[in-house]
Chain A
């Protein structure tokens, strides 16, 4: 068990290096570099910079060094000092800008994942034990529709419905009067009133998918002899279903928790842009549009790192829950 955990964590290290390198390459991709942008900014505000000064600056920041050296400098600053570089657009340190938004992104993603599970598992079990029943068909249709509707479409439709029929503004996370107010009970309630929209938007698609997966897993398990044995021993249906096949059918869920994270982050970005949420999405989009690459790269790096950690955690969870994997 311990060796498996250590093994997984060790495997995560090259993955982390890989994703950090990819993030750095993305930072480097647009033409021009930090100094080009910085000089343009200075010139814009009326200062005079000669070519020579520009070259000296490049030398000072080490932008003439090979890519790998620059990458090493960038990543070691992050790992050693938590220094993500500077955002040109906002003229702030990146590290001061991202943590608030990351917290909200994580909160929304986690909440919608829990929401997905709470809804998808009972429905999946129901659909499998009552196969071809009326509600099974309803949920099947729902599952397909959920797969077909992109997040931003759902967000737009909810926004339109909210506006046209309920006369409310479903965008944002807070009402206007609470936006800058300090935390209070009223602000918390206000947050809950707004939070359900992004959670529904994010959970909709994954719920639909998970119901299908859960149903298929359960159908595989329900036909096996051990289920029949349990029935033969006189347990009630509820005991049989929830104590044995559900536990096995849940395995694929646990192993895909890690994969669910990137999907949630991706969905969050688009939904957040539409719904105007103060999460990572809109800021990342803005950073990319402005080619504010240190900010954008940091976001991509951190989101990827969370994903890798999530994958490792789900692998370990899977080993804990399934002796067949633990012992192998």
Chain B
């Protein structure tokens, strides 16, 4: 074949050469530097370059960073405290922020709330009084808190300039608690539960997957069976069963850790499968054989030669596992078997929106659900982008 293409003209070869000749000259200078850069770039730089092209994944990354920061600084961003009850402000609809009043720029403000009663049903009706404006000012004083648990302060990002008025961006619930505040505090619990649950399942999955993939044979067969056993149990009933067995009287923090652990008990199988598959693929690589021939210990081969080659895959798999954990936590809490009030998580918040009556009365109670959808989507996009970027044979 090579001889033929040397002596006779190979149309494909010619076409390739021609196209290269056609494209090369004008781009030559730029091409070499770019090529040179990608030859010397470290694997992580290459992954980052590939990831950066994924617009949706980049947007998701920024969105998630934004979410985690909002959760971290929830007490600063939110104008109130999550448990502050206001009996005169129950089921207040969300307030729209306006900038112009009567065609004049006013800075951000909301219209004041007018409270009246339905003469027939005696239900409280709220209306926005479009003549009275409540300006929103920034860095106002509010309830005291410790910023990051360290700095005691009273400053909140925003709030009503007039202390007697309230700014409820997402409305209030049946006890008059500010939903925006609760959403931010709930983000702390829900998002961190996702991360901690994945951390648990990551440790279990990595350990067991590595053992199965590295040793193979009987050990692998046994572990494969075990994983099949676990996956043949329907997830939610098992989670429910385990979660229901936790005593209600325990410390909420402890329950929280146990719930994430229960989520991880099932979640690890997916990670273990990814790790095992990669180990199988890598085990027969020449460079692993070379390391073995050079006398490297098993521990060294696994940690220095095999794990670095699969980190990117593991990161992608972990990212894709986080939304599963978040959905698991919310589903359990939503059913009343996971976290319970007074702990605030998105699942706990959605408990208020469980029946038709409250949804029809106060549809804004569904907003934690919208938040869940966005966060889960963002994690999925991010994971997809990472997976594509981590694949060296991808486009």
A residues sitting closer than 8 Å to B (CB atoms) are 14-15, 18-19, 22-23, 26, 29-31, 144-145, 147-150, 152-153, 156-157, 159-160, 163-164, 169, 171, 258-259, 261-263, 265-267, 269-270, 273-274, 284-285, 288-289, 291, 296-297, 299-300, 303-304, 307-308, 311
Contact = CB atoms under 8 A, between A and B. Distances in A.
Interface stretch (B156-164, B194-202, B233-241, B285-293): B233-241
B232 A308 contact: yes
B233 A19 contact: yes
B335 A285 contact: yes
B237 A163 contact: no
Nearest to A145: B377
A169 B356 CA distance: 9
Nearest to B244: A288
Nearest to B332: A270
Nearest to A274: B354
A291 B244 contact: yes
A93 B233 CA distance: 24
Nearest to B337: A288
A304 B356 contact: no
Contacts of A263: 234-235
Given A30-B245, A285-B337, 14 more contacts: A19-B229, A22-B233, A23-B241, A26-B242, A150-B327, A153-B373, A156-B369, A263-B234, A266-B237, A270-B236, A273-B335, A299-B237, A300-B233, A307-B234
B232 A150 contact: no
Contacts of B360: 160, 163-164
A148 B63 CA distance: 15
Contact of A266 (B235, B337, B350, B380): B235
B369 A289 contact: no
A160 B231 contact: no
B334 A262 contact: no
A291 B242 CA distance: 11
Contacts of B374: 148
Interface string B358-374: 01100100100100111
Contact of A259 (B225, B231, B240): B231
Which secondary structure dominates chain A's binding surface?
helix
A169 to B, nearest CB: 7
Q: How large is the interface on B (under 10, 10 to 19, 20 to 34, 35 or more residues)?
A: 35 or more
Contacts of B84: none
Given A160-B360, A163-B359, A304 B231 contact: no
Contact of A153 (B225, B228, B242, B369): B369
B331 interface: yes
Contacts of B330: 150
A152 B331 CA distance: 8
A305 B350 CA distance: 32
Contacts of B331: 150, 152, 270
Contacts of A296: 241, 244
A261 B377 CA distance: 24
A270 B335 contact: yes
Interface in B206-234: 225, 228-229, 231-234
A164 B241 contact: no
The 3 closest A-B pairs by CB, nearest first: A29-B245, A266-B236, A288-B244
A236 to B, nearest CB: 30
Given A148-B380, A307-B233, A300 B238 contact: yes
A265 B231 contact: no
Which one of A163, A169, A265, A266 has the greatest number of beta carbons of chain B within 10 Å?
A: A266
Contacts of B373: 145, 148-150, 153
Given A148-B373, A160-B366, A269 B356 contact: no
A261 B247 CA distance: 30
A7 B26 CA distance: 65
A136 to B, nearest CB: 16
Contacts of A169: 356
A57 B231 CA distance: 38
B386 interface: no
A153 B359 CA distance: 12
A304 B372 contact: no
Does more than half of chain B's interface fall in helix, strand or loop, or is it mixed?
Answer: helix
A307 B232 contact: yes
B376 interface: yes
Q: Taking each of A14, A270, A289, A297, which has the highest tally of chain B beta carbons within 10 Å of its own beta carbon?
A: A270
23 contacts: A15-B229, A19-B232, A26-B241, A26-B245, A30-B247, A145-B377, A148-B374, A148-B377, A150-B330, A152-B331, A153-B366, A157-B366, A163-B359, A164-B363, A259-B231, A266-B237, A270-B236, A284-B237, A288-B241, A288-B244, A300-B237, A303-B234, A303-B237
A18 B238 CA distance: 13
A265 B236 contact: yes
B51 interface: no
Contacts of A308: 232
Contacts of A258: 232
A156 B352 CA distance: 12
A299 B236 CA distance: 12
Contacts of B359: 156, 159-160, 163
A270 B334 contact: yes
A84 to B, nearest CB: 15
B234 A262 contact: yes
Contacts of A299: 237
Contacts of A297: 241
Nearest to B336: A289
A313 to B, nearest CB: 13
A267 B353 CA distance: 18
A22 B233 CA distance: 9
A156 B231 contact: no
B381 interface: yes
B240 A262 contact: no
Contacts of A303: 234, 237
A268 to B, nearest CB: 9
Nearest to B376: A148
Contacts of A156: 350, 353-354, 359, 366, 369
A304 B234 contact: yes
